Amino acid sequence: MNIFIRGLSVIFMIALLWGIQSHAAVTCLDAEGEAAVVDGDVPSAKAEATARAKWNAVESAVGVEIKAQTLVQDFQLIDDSIIKKTKGMVTSSKVLREEKRNDIYWVKLNACVEPTKATNAVYSLARSNSIAVFIPAKKPRLVSEHEASLRSSRGKYDRRQVAIRDEHEEDNIFSSTLIGTLSEAGYTVTDTTPTNMVDAVQIESAIKSGNFMSVQSLIYKYLSNMILIGKIDYTVSARRGQQFGGNLTMPYNRVTARLTYRLLNRDQSGKIVIVAAGVGEGQGIGINIEDASSNSLTNLAEEIGPVLVDKITQRIRGVDKKIMVKIDGIREPYELTELKERLKNIAWVQRVEEKSDCELIVEYPENTLYLVSSLGRKGNFRVIQWSQTSILISNN
């Protein structure tokens, strides 16, 4: 009997702990949403405003920096492709306040979100051409400098003593130059470079160990499929005033900046994999150490920037997928030709081929959602339904 009671107690405790953990996994927070009232249809506006509020709660729970609405102009696409297909993401919600403000319906609610499902839903909006750059640059900072004239058996000479300390730039030259190069190539780039030593040490540890779980949150936070992670160290290879060749002295400081980097990608299973790795080096000279260090970072960016752009481009173009685009109820041959030309002008579309009188095959490395969104903004064509591999549209 005692064994039976103890058994029930254990089961009860396990159930209680499981319930606590399950409850702790859910995040409840307030969020707002609004929608336009079209043709006096208040119920539809209320439903859309409520859906927007729930989605805003999901984004807040995940902690994303880039909002979905900035990526996909048609909210209905987000609603249909994400919210309605993700059961249990919002476990419960309660409307706190709602009102009609002229032609806008506004809703404020409290929503409880299951973080794991919410993360997966939000990440399905990640863009293939979005890159998060995470490279801290260590550079020297001059603390003190002392110059003295000394005399030896060989004669009089000048001696310069300097004291420097390591620091990390908040906005380092390498990252800024590289981001400019990538942006010019058509990529969406987010600079997430850390500014404190603790983050920099974590990055260095991740690179040495190959364990990148500590930076995985950045991929979710910035909705990027790709992240460039690395570290930059420096060496003061020559000091101004340093003697060489008898009584000759160096007229300037020379600093060498060295980059170690990894290009990471999230595969279809969700695992972070290394798709490219390498090192780079740049030298800079200057009258003072800070100038020499800055010049070394500039030269490093000019040297390694084109190499990184090439590797990223090869990676993205290497995962092109083929999407079938079909026009429903096509009546004239020019309609297919018009659609073909329109597709060719959409960013990141690699190739468009005709499969039949009403079907096109499109090579596209990006998330299909963004091809659908681009088509929806073009005017004449209306998207009826879509998946990651096919799109059905009609000619309005």
Q: Is the pLDDT of residue 20 over 70?
A: no
Instruction: Mean pLDDT check: name the lowest of 196-210, 216-230, 330-344.
Output: 196-210
pLDDT of residue 198: 47
Residue 366: name the closest of 291, 328, 316 by CA: 316
Q: Is the pLDDT of residue 7 over 70?
A: no
pLDDT of residue 189: 85
Residue whose pair of structure tokens reads 């173009």 in the numeric block: 317
Say which DSSP state 351 is in.
Answer: E
Mean pLDDT along residues 90-95 = 90
Secondary structure E strands in the chain: 27-36, 90-101, 104-113, 127-134, 138-152, 155-168, 188-191, 224-238, 243-244, 248-249, 253-266, 272-286, 321-328, 351-354, 359-364, 381-386, 390-395
Q: Is the pLDDT of residue 204 over 50?
A: yes
Q: Is the pLDDT of residue 2 over 50?
A: no
Instruction: Mean pLDDT check: name the lowest of 136-140, 200-204, 235-239.
Output: 200-204
Residue whose pair of structure tokens reads 């339904």 in the numeric block: 385
Domains and CATH numbers, the chain: 9-125 (3.30.1660.40), 130-317 (3.40.50), 321-395 (3.30.70)
Residue-wise pLDDT for 102-133, tens only, equals: 899 999 999 999 888 888 778 778 787 888 88
Q: Is the pLDDT of residue 35 over 70?
A: yes
pLDDT of residue 245: 62
On whether the CB atoms of residues 274 and 280 are closer than 8 A, the answer is no
pLDDT of residue 84: 64
Q: Is the pLDDT of residue 32 over 90?
A: yes
Higher pLDDT, 210 or 352: 352
Mean pLDDT along residues 211-236 = 76
pLDDT of residue 239: 76
On whether the CB atoms of residues 2 and 91 are closer than 8 A, the answer is no
Q: Is the pLDDT of residue 99 over 90?
A: yes
Q: Is the pLDDT of residue 348 over 50?
A: yes
- What's the number of CA atoms in the CB half-sphere (13 Å) around residue 107? 27
Residue 43: name the closest of 51, 110, 31 by CA: 51
Residue-wise pLDDT for 135-188, tens only, equals: 877 766 544 444 544 455 555 545 555 555 656 665 688 888 888 888 888 888
Instruction: Mean pLDDT check: name the lowest of 126-140, 200-214, 228-242, 341-355.
Output: 200-214
At residue 329, φ and ψ (nearest 5 deg) are 65, 40
pLDDT of residue 336: 83
Q: Is the pLDDT of residue 220 over 80?
A: no
pLDDT of residue 148: 47
Q: Which of 159-168, 218-227, 276-285, 369-378 has the highest mean pLDDT?
A: 276-285
Q: Is the pLDDT of residue 1 over 50?
A: no
